[in-house]
């Protein structure tokens, strides 16, 4: 879900080519869920191999990374570790939402309601341990670095961006800027013309950049105020906004009062938070992260990728080789030296 700051946050549209020469720390779970939700057959089912193993996420990783690297964009992937205890309520909520969506999907499928089938199918996406391991294996074979965060991948990606080890964090959620990412890139996974659910309306999905400094100047608050704003309208750690609390009302409060304690003093019954908001402030300001990571982009192991995707997962060998062929020139063009490892 993520914090719902879209109504207030300033952002600008870009093209993927605008990111050429940039390194990006990608929230891996976020992008994998996008692939699992969107890359499906006409009946709403995930892509699978002959053994019934889901391959939608592998297809997304292969072709999207090939396109990014071809353009000179160098992604690294950050995988979630142990979720914070404060996230337990959201984890339970998501599990129940998937259960309900599965029931609705099966009913729509039985009744032949194709539009509803796709809508509900997207909400049933689940990321399992074996699927994560497959994703990490493919990234390694493609020469793309990945790391395991001690806790939230989004927090780790934001930390890497704040240290300037990468240009930006990439995620669909705005939580990255609460965690301190100076630059957030959205819509990096799926771009192009997309149909809105339950409406005969198509929109063009384009990459966009959110810059923390510009957001703070636009809202006339500091990062602490932005964190308080997120807490008031609801995050993954305190899902559901306070009754009657919209983004604009929340902004007025954080503009007037500097601390979450002051704000609570002006809310009915202290806001009735599901968790201690002071713990949330600390979580965003002092997330659990690691300094132990290495970012090296190397030429893909073509035969290794072919053996995995084509030999084990029934991908088209011709399409896989063509995708991998696109990566080499992009890597060499960005690096501009004979040995990629030396650049990083």
Q: pLDDT, tens digit, for every residue of 284-331?
A: 999 999 999 999 999 999 999 999 999 999 999 999 999 999 998 888
Q: How many CB atoms lie within 10 A of CB 86?
A: 18
Tell me the domain boundaries of the chain: 1-219, 220-287
The percentage of residues in the chain with a pLDDT greater than 90, rounded to a whole number, is 56
Q: What is the pLDDT of residue 244?
A: 74
Lay out the sheet containing 23-27: strands in order across: 12-13, 208-211, 183-186, 168-170, 23-27, 74-79, 146-148
- In the three-class reduction of DSSP (H, G, I as helix; E, B as strand; rest coil), residue 68 is classed as helix
CATH topology of domain 1-219: Rossmann fold (3.40.50)
Q: Crossing angle, helix 153-162 and helix 28-38, to 10 degrees?
A: 130
Residues 228-253 pLDDT 10s: 998 888 887 876 667 778 888 889 99
Residues 6 or more apart whose CB falls under 8 angstroms from that of 138 comprise 58, 61, 62, 305, 308, 309
CATH class of 220-287: mainly alpha
Q: What is the pLDDT of residue 240?
A: 64
pTM of full prediction above 0.95: no
Interatomic CA distance for residues 216 and 30, integer angstroms: 25
DSSP 8-state assignment for residue 168: E
């Amino acid at each position: 879900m993520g914090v719902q700051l879209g109504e207030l946050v300033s952002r600008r549209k870009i093209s993927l080519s605008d990111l050429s020469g940039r390194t990006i720390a990608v929230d891996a779970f976020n992008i994998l869920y996008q692939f699992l939700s969107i890359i499906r057959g006409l009946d709403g089912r995930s892509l699978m191999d002959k053994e019934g193993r889901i391959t939608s996420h592998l297809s997304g990783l292969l072709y999207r990374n090939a396109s990014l690297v071809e353009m000179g964009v160098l992604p690294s992937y950050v995988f979630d570790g142990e979720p914070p205890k404060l996230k337990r309520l959201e984890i339970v909520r998501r599990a129940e939402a998937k259960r309900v969506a599965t029931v609705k999907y099966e009913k729509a499928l039985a009744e032949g309601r194709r539009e509803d089938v796709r809508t509900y199918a997207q909400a049933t996406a689940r990321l399992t341990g074996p699927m994560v391991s497959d994703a990490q294996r493919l990234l390694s074979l493609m020469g793309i670095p990945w790391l395991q965060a001690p806790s939230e991948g989004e927090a780790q990606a934001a930390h890497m961006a704040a240290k300037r080890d990468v240009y930006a964090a990439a995620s669909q959620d705005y939580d990255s800027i609460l965690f301190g990412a100076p630059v957030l890139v959205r819509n990096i996974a799926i771009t192009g013309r997309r149909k809105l659910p339950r409406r005969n309306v198509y929109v063009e999905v384009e990459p966009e950049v959110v810059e923390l400094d510009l957001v703070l100047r636009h809202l006339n608050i500091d990062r602490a105020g932005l964190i308080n704003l997120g807490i008031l309208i609801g995050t993954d750690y305190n899902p559901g906004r306070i009754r009657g609390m919209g983004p604009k009302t929340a902004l007025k409060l954080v503009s007037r009062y500097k601390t979450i304690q002051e704000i609570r003093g002006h809310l009915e019954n202290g806001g009735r938070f599901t968790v201690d908001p002071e713990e949330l402030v600390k979580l965003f300001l002092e997330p659990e992260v690691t300094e132990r990571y290495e970012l090296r982009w190397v030429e893909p192991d073509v035969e290794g990728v072919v053996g995995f995707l084509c030999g084990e997962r029934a991908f088209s060998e011709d399409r896989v080789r063509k995708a991998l062929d696109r990566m080499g020139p992009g890597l060499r063009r960005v690096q501009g030296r004979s040995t990629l490892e030396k650049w990083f």
